[in-house]
Amino acid sequence: MEELLLTPLHEEHLKLKARMIPFDGFDMPVQY
C-alpha cells in the first residue's frame, strides 16, 4: 500500500478531530 499524500491543511483537520479516509491517494476529511 502506498503512503497517502497530505494536504497543506492536514494538521488542522486532525486538530479539529476530523474523521479521515483515503481518497484518490490523499488522506481526506469526511466528517468533523
**Segment 1-32, tens digit of pLDDT:** 689 999 999 999 999 999 999 999 999 999 99
DSSP-assigned beta bridge partners for residue 19: 31
What pLDDT does 1 receive?
66
Which pLDDT value is given to residue 2?
Answer: 82
List the end-to-end C-alpha distance of the chain, in Å, as a whole number: 26
Residues 6+ apart with CB under 8 A from 30: 18, 19, 20, 21, 23
Domain ranges of the chain: 1-32
Integer CA distances (angstroms), 9 to 1, 19, 23, 27, 29, in order: 23, 14, 15, 11, 10
Residue 7: DSSP 8-state: -
